[in-house]
Structure 1
Amino acid sequence: MRILVMGAGAVGSAIGGYLSRNHEVLLVGRGAHMDAMADHGLAIDGILGSSQHTPLVCKEGALKDHPFLQKPLDWVLITVKSPATRIATEELIQAIPDPERPVWAHIQNGMGNLETIRETLTSGGITQLPIILSGMTITGYDIPDPGHVRITVYGGPGKIGWLETNDSQSNSVYPEAARSLVDILSETPLVFEYSDRMISFLWAKLLYNCCLNPLGALLKLPYGELRVEPALELMKEILDEAFALAALEKAPLFWASAQDYFDHLQQTLIPATAEHEPSMLADIQKGRATEIMAMNGFIVERSESHGLKAPVNSTIVQLIRSAHMKNG
């Protein structure tokens, strides 16, 4: 298979690096990390063992002229941070000769990414949209230094599926494509499963991120150290607002109430990812745009569209924005 991975951060580098063992893979990213991989390859270590990989690499902005695109692609995987989704998709449209041919999949945090990809493809003149799958992972990834990815925690298997759209509801191509991607990923040490309930899993990841990622960033603590009463009370209020929105949107959640999810978070998810450092903290410290608007910001904006307020999530958004402005 010929696979283009757009977004060679920690997640994209790990996925693309592992896949390069059996497939032709091009990683697209930026900065010293790309330079190091070009010179010495990619080292992956951590809880899944140590290995060395040699994917092809390309810096953002130079994709259009890369010789990898002289042959057709089979897969396009988008793994950029959510604020970069539109720009990444625009570069893909400009670079790939036949963007509707490969199967696309995005494996990202937050909500609204699929909509952004589809809107950008349409506005870019793509009349026949490709198959676009959705995925999520709750494995912890980090880049301790350029050319090196460390896998730190495992919170359960990732999921690959699709979100219902007007052209996918009764189309068997979507589940077939999702199962194909799971089969490809099963060649790696990473664990992904097929799901026909992708919206439920994306909401599950949203709840997890809204509770832990911004609070960990603001307090500069790994997730396991957030189990103190004031932070736990904030999590409950974040969840109350999220579940109120989910009820209005008829989101098919796995939990009947905010309290049910909170119990699951405390008893299962936080212990499994206790050592994980919030990605939002690294973004703030490095002056990068955070994913807050695809997380707590999504709760706020969607709630307001229903005439509902989400004051706790709104406060979290403003605090993260303030921290970003201070360091940006």
Structure 2
Amino acid sequence: MELELRHLKVIRAIAEAGSLTRAATALGLAQPALSAQLRRIERTLGGALFERGRNGVRATPLGELVLERTRIVLPAVRELQQEAARFARTRRQAERLRIGGTHGPLLGALVDRLAGAAPTTTVTTRASWSERELADLLADGRLDFALAGTCGSAAPPGAPHLAWQEIAVDPVFVMLAEDHPLALGREADLAALADEEWACVPGDGCFADCFTAACARAGFTPRRMYETDTASCVHLVQVGRAVGLCRATFPPTPGLTTRPLAGTPLMWRHLLGWHPGSQQPDTAATLLTQARTAHARAAARSDSYTNWLARRGDPDTALR
């Protein structure tokens, strides 16, 4: 018989209990079965480990030697098991990323970047109109990272408990039907759109209030606002029902064009968030780099955005 780890645990249990009867109870064995197992262990080790007496058992010199080794071996094995479990959890986390995001092309672009940069990582996504919901999912550990945004300099959701890093800051553009009178201009004056109906995607931040305030500064109160999904917004713009509000990175779409608003009255800040207690700094840094690259490439595909940057004399803005 070869000595096994379970045999060392039996020896330690007998020494700690001080008797075979009490040790058998602690190990959940019958006392005769424990006695037989101890005899097999002693034959394997070449001598008696315990002296049996009326008051229990006492370790022999050989037993003391073995017990001394168990005090080293058993904690070391337990520590090895704990380290292996931590490594396995970290490995599983490294092979899986759960990313949440609001509407817009940035989430898909980030998934595409990760597919090329980390092909063995399984990426799952969850979309939500609510920045607060995404923040709650991060805080609860149900998401690893989230792409969200804020209007201007507004505080990100869940800011005291979560880490948020800026990906980029974009102007808010308008979506116009390609035959709209303002579609041929370089930019659209907000006051010139006073009689339009509007379309945008919903959210629970302050964007609606900021838009209303911008309209008030331009001298009007906006008419009906359709808050709906991106595809519906596009349709409403294409058929001339409404003018849409969108991020400057909105991709080229048949039947419509995007134009900056004169004076840039509205800005949108893209953010990447995570829970600092759940993510390694290098993982967060990698995701942030990939998100910034994804944004830069999305910006480069928008002619109206690149033209706007060129007119400002800051062509590298979208690459930061």
- Above 0.5 in TM-score? no
Bigger Cα Rg: 2
- TM-score (normalised: structure 2): 0.27
Larger RCO (alpha carbons 8 Å, 6+ apart): 2
So what's the TM-score if we normalise by structure 1? Answer: 0.26
